[in-house]
């Protein structure tokens, strides 16, 4: 018995699927051109937010191990684990940075006011240094006009005032642009949340899209992640420790603006090999030349044995060991990156250098394999 809903057993079998169209060379070139055009347009659109995107990616890379541990404890609830990870970022990274910035702005403003009122006169300190110098050194400095204390006082006051005014202006700008700052912070944390939660799937998509062998993909992606983690964790940890130790020494010696000097030492500590010594070294020399021997010797010993030890021991362990880049390459690329890209360059400089080395290594290995196959 048959009806309208009874399937017909004599129906024609389904047609085999059509073979996929093989793109011609012209179509391939057109697709590559279109891909390059839309990629360039995407970069152009996102360029104003490259800093927030960069730090969102960095936070995701740094806190990915924390997210994996939370996943195990929360029974693979990815969204909840990612939210808790971002909350940790907010508590451990964002809030301390904001509090330090506020305190730094207050101290910079106080230093600027003291310079304007004349309560802080840096030329007086340098006059004592010059008077303690041997006559030969004083004559040599006189050739460059550095013994004219009226000119020197004006130059030093202008330089310190400009630096303090810059810090205060930056802090005031953040305060006036609170909405913009909050928007950038929201974008950073928002992006970090999705990268933390969906990072594995995004990495798989990227691996499928990049036309490289799986081994080469793993090498490049792994190298980028390792260098970013090592550079940020290593450099920031070393900078924070050196700035803290230097600031404590200045506070103990009774120097004004200890927090300001600590932040300056932390910033300069991003530069390997030189770093914080550019700040505590001249201060120790000033103490020695003006007769404050115990202060000068104590600060020198503290700088060499404690602050310098942090740089000499921790930086190779946290940065150089993981990146496998020579110290001179890290130094040059850090300086070059900061000169071109600002503060973000201390991460991107070594990262670009590491990717440069990795790509050339892959290229050399591919050429060697090709030559071996031709024999």
Q: How confident is the model at residue 5 (pLDDT cuts 50, 70, 90)?
A: very low
Q: What is the pLDDT at residue 84?
A: 92
Alpha carbons 298 and 292: distance in angstroms, whole number:
10
pLDDT in tens, 76-113: 888 898 899 999 999 888 888 888 777 777 777 676 67
pLDDT in tens, 114-157: 666 666 656 566 666 666 666 666 666 666 655 555 565 566 66
> Which residue, 257, 3, 292, 267, is CA-closest to 110?
257
- pLDDT for 289 beyond 50: yes
For 373, how many CA atoms within 13 A lie in the half-sphere containing its CB?
A: 6
Q: Where are the alpha helices (DSSP H) in the chain?
A: 25-46, 50-62, 64-73, 78-89, 95-117, 122-132, 135-142, 149-176, 178-209, 214-252, 258-268, 277-289, 293-301, 308-309, 315, 321-323, 327-341, 345-374
In the chain, where are the structural domains located? 49-201, 215-365
- pLDDT for 62 beyond 90: no
pLDDT in tens, 206-249: 777 777 777 777 777 777 777 777 777 777 788 888 888 888 98
Point out the least confidently predicted range of 91-95, 246-250, 260-264, 294-298: 260-264
For 256, how many CA atoms within 13 A lie in the half-sphere containing its CB?
A: 12
């Amino acid at each position: 018995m048959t009806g309208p809903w009874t399937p017909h057993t004599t129906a024609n079998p389904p047609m085999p699927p059509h073979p996929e169209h093989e793109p011609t060379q012209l179509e391939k070139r057109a697709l590559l051109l279109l891909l390059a055009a839309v990629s360039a347009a995407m970069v152009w659109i996102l360029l104003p937010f490259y800093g927030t995107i960069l730090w969102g990616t960095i936070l995701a890379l740094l806190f990915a191990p924390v997210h994996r541990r939370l996943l195990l404890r929360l029974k693979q609830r990815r969204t909840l684990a990612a939210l808790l990870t971002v909350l940790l970022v907010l508590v451990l990274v964002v809030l301390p940075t904001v509090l330090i910035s506020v305190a730094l702005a207050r101290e910079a403003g106080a230093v600027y006011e003291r310079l304007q009122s004349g309560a802080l006169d840096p030329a007086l300190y340098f006059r004592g240094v010059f008077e303690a110098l041997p006559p030969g050194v004083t004559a040599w400095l006189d050739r460059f006009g550095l013994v004219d204390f009226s000119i020197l006082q004006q130059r030093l006051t202008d330089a310190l005032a400009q630096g303090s005014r810059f810090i205060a202006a930056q802090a005031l700008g953040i305060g006036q642009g609170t909405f913009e700052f909050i928007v950038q912070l929201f974008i950073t944390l928002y992006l970090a949340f999705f990268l933390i939660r969906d990072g594995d799937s995004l990495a798989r998509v990227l691996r499928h899209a990049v036309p490289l062998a799986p081994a080469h993909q793993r090498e490049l992606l792994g190298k980028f992640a390792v260098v970013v983690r090592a550079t940020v964790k290593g450099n920031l940890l070393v900078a924070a420790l050196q700035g803290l130790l230097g600031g404590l020494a200045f506070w103990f010696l009774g120097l004004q603006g200890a927090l300001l000097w600590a932040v300056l030492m932390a910033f300069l500590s991003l530069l390997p090999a030189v770093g914080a010594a550019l700040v505590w070294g001249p201060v120790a020399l000033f103490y020695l030349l003006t007769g404050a021997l115990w202060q000068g010797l104590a600060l020198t010993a503290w700088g060499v044995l404690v602050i310098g030890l942090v740089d000499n021991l921790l930086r190779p362990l946290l940065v150089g060991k993981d990146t496998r880049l020579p110290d001179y390459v890290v130094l040059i690329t850090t300086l070059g990156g900061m000169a071109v890209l600002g503060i973000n360059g201390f991460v991107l400089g070594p990262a670009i250098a590491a990717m440069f080395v990795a790509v050339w290594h892959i290229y050399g290995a591919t050429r060697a394999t090709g030559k071996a196959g031709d024999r």
